[in-house]
A and B are shown apart, each in its own frame.
Chain A
Amino acid sequence: DVVMTQSPLSLPVTLGQPASISCRSSQSLVYSDGNTYLNWFQQRPGQSPRRLIYKVSNRDSGVPDRFSGSGSGTDFTLKISRVEAEDVGVYYCMQGTHWPLLITFGQGTRLEIK
């Protein structure tokens, strides 16, 4: 199994301050086509997940540029340059590299305003 481990699991942040979430996989996420299928999702309270970042560092349309993704191999990071109130929610990383056998999510990181 490919295990995705996020840290921290809880992240209290002051408005306007940066935030960083780590995601580590138990196996390399580099696919045979050379791409790394690592996504980041945001789930606001009571809503469906929303994809923010795909293939490690590509921001989805409409996602504020304060969100950025980085990493390679087994270590990945989601950064928010300046947290805003609308960023409250749970953030998940997800690997799609090992499809069709397995797609796995991290446990989630709950971001709250201090």
Chain B
Amino acid sequence: QVQLVQSGAEVKKPGASVKVSCKASGYTFTSYDINWVRQATGQGLEWMGWMNPNSGNTGYAQKFQGRVTMTRNTSISTAYMELSSLRSEDTAVYYCARGVYGDSNFDYWGQGTLVTVSS
């Protein structure tokens, strides 16, 4: 069965960077794009961007351009999202989700990774 398993919770200081991983299993990793979506406590869902694991091509929401980098390691079927220059407003649960186009868009989600930014 399709699974996306994310790395554990992180606590970071303002100005630091965080890198969250998303390990895929149960399907061919390079056949589906990966999205990253975040959710601040008690708030709605916010799309951050996508990555094509086959080509490495990425697209980022304008809000995060310059601060976010999405990469992958195809040998271990894992996608990564790195967010830099962290501020308190980046405290949120970060999700990866499979697929961005066609019938499989956003059909499977990871369990989420809580990133807390605090001095």
Binding site for B on A (CB under 8 A): 37, 39, 41, 48-51, 54-55, 58, 60, 92, 94, 96, 99-108
Contacts and interface: CB of A to CB of B under 8 A. Distances in A.
Interface string B22-44: 00000000000001010000001
10 shortest A-B CB distances, which residue pairs?
A100-B59, A103-B47, A48-B109, A105-B45, A108-B44, A96-B105, A107-B44, A51-B107, A48-B112, A51-B106
Contact of A96 (B37, B45, B106, B109): B106
Contacts of B59: 99-101
Contacts of B35: 103
A99 B46 contact: no
Interface stretch (B68-76, B81-89, B95-103): B95-103
B80 interface: no
Contacts of B61: 102-103
10 contacts: A41-B45, A49-B106, A60-B107, A94-B45, A100-B100, A102-B62, A103-B61, A105-B44, A105-B45, A108-B44
Contacts of A94: 45, 106
Contacts of B46: 105
B111 interface: yes
A50 B103 CA distance: 15
B44 A49 contact: no
Given A48-B111, A108-B45, A100 B50 contact: yes
Contacts of A101: 59
A99 B103 CA distance: 14
A39 B101 CA distance: 12
Contacts of A96: 100-101, 105-106
Given A54-B107, A94-B45, A100-B50, 16 more contacts: A49-B45, A49-B97, A49-B109, A50-B109, A51-B106, A55-B103, A94-B106, A99-B50, A99-B100, A99-B101, A102-B47, A103-B47, A103-B50, A103-B61, A105-B47, A106-B44
Contacts of A107: 44
Contacts of A92: 44-45
A104 B49 CA distance: 11
A48 B110 contact: yes
